[in-house]
């Protein structure tokens, strides 16, 4: 049920936590663990925490260099954060996240849950890659959870949800969801287009793209929709190249 | 809210786990920790896992010799178990337990949650002292949770329940949904734009707009998103009018 759920640890500092997370994954039926640029990964320190039962989860974990690599092939990425202020709208709780994840997985998607480093959590740079953000409710006296404990709470909610109703394959297959990579391709293409028509200004276009990104990240974009939007965006670019300022007639 | 909830660790083997449990208690608003006959308790090993924030929870933990002492003064005692077969009827899940605990606490009760040793869990001798038993759902591949992870899952459910109103992460209120009228305005504007850039052909543009309509109809479009999309569409139209074919330079 959670076969297509991927747990991504972003720059974890302590190998013991990676081991603990592997065990939590096993408990909650997740076998797909990816670690991004860990600080001094050490299997000897990680293994005892994984216990012999989750050894295979730990040993088959993939270690990559960047978050983009870690979420490659995923159709939705959810980041965890303890910071819920400012512009961070529509932050999910573990149980509302579990509902969204369940829906995405049943729709044929592949979902990544991203957890930041123990001390600092995810920064805006990483959360920009996320389709949504989630926070675990805590007492105000202690808002910082142990990494593996945060993982187990979130996976527990996802696992619980996956048990709620038996898995029933849908009718005719919907178009497959667009991958995160396709979504990024689209954002870049859109950004170029919006720059070309002077909708975005040259200074800090990434920042001004945020509302566009936020808008699209709430949509479970399908492959055919990706094609549609890319087609429109390319056509605008063609138009600008053909008729835009600086083109001689 | 959880002042009268007590976490009892029965004969834990590893001081690190006691530290981790102290941190989980702090995170979930529980300050009452009792440890029954720990195997070689060692504050130096426990403290780093508690972190400086939960130090006071750990230092004020009570160490007693028997389970009866640990639950003294409580009005209800719930034990955790991974063994759900046989005579163990009416076993609670973390969320059904949370409902019961919440009710007891609001009724002025004092409730103990008892967690057994890492390797063996609670035996019949201990569960005989319990008013009820609770088990955490897990994958069949790995049914044994880390002690502190089991504690955090159960306390998380109790904490979530104890919040008078359901936990809603902060952030400004969401924008109101776009009205049907606004959506129609947007479709018409889009259609004009897509015609202007020759993405749609003049013959039967309504038909070719269908995929665009379908795409947008699945989105619960918000007012601010409506404004964003209208802004982009108008800018493309401005561009066409300013630079498009037939415009003299």
* CB pair distance less than 8 Å for B163 and A24: no
Same domain flag for A52 and A106: yes
The helix/strand/coil state of A36 is strand
The residue length of chain B stands at: 249
d(CA A106, CA A169): 8
CATH of the domain at B47: 3.40.1280.10
Specify whether B134 is located in the same domain as B201: no
The model's pLDDT over A142-165, given as tens digits with 9 standing for 90+, comes to 989 999 999 999 999 999 998 876
Q: Is residue B141 assigned to a domain? A: yes
Q: Which residues of B touch A152 (CB under 8 A)?
A: 145-146, 149, 152-153
**B173 assigned to some structural domain:** no
Identify whether residues A113 and A159 lie together within a single domain: yes
What pLDDT shows up at residue A89?
58
The domain containing residue A132 runs over which residues?
Answer: 5-164
**Are residues A151 and A222 part of one domain?**
no
Confirm or reject contact between B88 and chain A (CB < 8 A): no
Q: Is the dihedral of CA A211, A217, A218, A219 positive or negative?
A: positive
Tell me whether residue A248 is in a domain. Answer: no
Q: Using the beta-carbon criterion (under 8 Å), do A239 and B235 form an inter-chain contact?
A: no
Q: What angle do CA B20, A49, B28 make, to 5 degrees?
A: 25
Nearest chain A residue to B244 by CA: give it: A243
- Give yes or no for a contact between B117 and B11, defined as CB atoms under 8 angstroms apart: yes
pLDDT at B165: 63
Domain end, chosen from B130, B162, B194, is at B162
Q: What angle do CA A102, A123, A100 make, to 5 degrees?
A: 10
Q: What is the pLDDT of residue B13?
A: 96
Q: Are residues B192 and B126 in the same domain?
A: no
Q: pLDDT at position B168, please?
A: 60
Q: Tell me whether residues A27 and B139 touch, CB distance under 8 A.
A: yes
Candidate from B23, B156, B211 with C-beta closest to A146: B23
B244: burial class by Cβ within 10 Å (0-12, 13-18, 19+)? middle
Nearest Cα residue to B59 out of B26, B81, B27, B84: B26
In this structure, are B93 and B142 located in the same domain? Answer: yes
A62 with A149, same domain: the answer is yes
CA distance B151 to B246: 72
- Assess A29–B contact: CB distance below 8 Å, yes or no: yes
B50 and B155 Cβ atoms separated by less than 8 Å = no
Query: What sign results for the dihedral spanned by CA atoms A149, A30, A122, A89?
Result: negative
Identify the helix (H) or strand (E) that includes residue B206.
Answer: helix B205-208
Q: Is B24 contained in some domain?
A: yes
Find the closest chain A residue to B213 by CA distance.
A225
The tally of domains found in chain B comes to 2
Structure tokens given for A25: 């994954």
Q: Domain with B238 in it: what CATH number?
A: 1.10.8.590
Asked whether residue B138 falls in the same domain as residue B193, the answer is no
B165 contact residues in A (CB cutoff 8 A) = none
Q: Cα–Cα distance between B57 and B43 in angstroms, integer? A: 12
Q: Is residue B61 part of a domain?
A: yes
Q: What is the pLDDT along chain B (249 residues), one digit of tens a residue?
A: 798 999 999 999 999 999 999 999 999 999 999 999 999 889 999 999 999 999 999 999 999 999 999 998 888 899 998 866 554 557 889 999 999 899 888 888 889 999 999 988 898 888 888 878 899 999 988 989 999 999 999 999 999 998 866 656 665 666 777 777 788 899 889 999 999 998 888 888 888 888 887 787 677 788 888 999 999 999 999 999 998 887 765
The reply to whether B30 and B124 lie within a common domain is yes
A215 contacts on B by Cβ (under 8 Å)? 225, 228-229
A62 beta partners: A34
Ramachandran region, residue A29 (left: φ > 0; alpha: ψ -120 to 50; beta: rest): left
CA–CA separation, A107 vs A99, rounded Å? 12
Contact at CB, B146 and A148, closer than 8 angstroms: yes
The per-residue pLDDT for A111 is 95
Domain match, B129 and B17 both? yes
Asked if the structure places residue B172 within a domain, the reply is no
pLDDT attached to residue B87? 46
Report if residue B66 sits inside a domain.
Answer: yes
What pLDDT sits at residue A170?
Answer: 44
A89–B170: do the CB atoms touch at under 8 Å? no
- Are B143 and B36 members of one domain? yes
Query: For residue B165, what are the contacts with CB-CB under 8 A and spacing of at least 6?
Result: none
- As a whole number of angstroms, the distance between CA B113 and CA B152 comes to 12
- Whether residue B167 is contained in a domain is answered as no
Compute the distance between CA of residue A14 and CA of residue A34 in angstroms, rounded to an integer. Answer: 15
- Note whether B26 contacts A51, CB cutoff 8 Å: no
Q: Which regions of chain A are under pLDDT 50?
A: 87, 167-171
Q: Is the ipTM of this complex over 0.85?
A: no
Do A131 and A62 fall into the same domain? yes
Kindly provide the residue ranges of all beta strands, DSSP E only, lying in chain B, ordered along the sequence: 5-10, 32-36, 62-64, 76-80, 111-115, 132-134
pLDDT of residue A217: 78
């Amino acid at each position: 049920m959670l076969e297509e759920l991927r747990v991504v640890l972003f720059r974890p500092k302590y190998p013991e936590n990676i081991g603990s997370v592997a065990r939590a994954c096993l408990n909650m039926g997740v076998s797909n663990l990816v670690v991004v640029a860990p600080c001094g990964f050490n299997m000897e320190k990680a293994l005892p925490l994984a216990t012999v039962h989750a050894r295979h989860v730990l040993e088959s974990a993939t270690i990559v260099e960047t978050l983009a690599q870690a979420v490659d092939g995923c159709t939705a990425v959810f980041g965890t954060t303890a910071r819920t202020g400012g512009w961070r709208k529509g932050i999910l709780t573990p149980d509302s996240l579990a509902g969204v994840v369940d829906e995405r997985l049943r729709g044929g998607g592949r979902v990544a849950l991203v957890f930041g480093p123990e001390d600092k959590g995810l920064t805006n740079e990483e959360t920009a890659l996320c389709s949504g953000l989630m926070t675990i409710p805590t007492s105000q006296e202690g808002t910082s959870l142990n990494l593996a404990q945060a993982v187990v709470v979130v996976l527990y909610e996802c696992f619980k949800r996956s048990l709620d109703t038996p898995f029933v394959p849908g009718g005719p297959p919907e178009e497959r969801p667009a991958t995160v990579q396709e979504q990024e391709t689209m954002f870049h293409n859109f950004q170029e287009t919006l720059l070309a028509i002077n909708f975005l200004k040259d200074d800090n276009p990434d920042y001004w793209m945020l509302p566009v990104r936020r808008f699209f990240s709430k949509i479970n974009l399908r492959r055919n929709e990706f094609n549609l939007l890319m087609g429109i965006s390319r056509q605008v670019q063609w138009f600008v190249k053909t008729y835009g300022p600086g083109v001689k007639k």
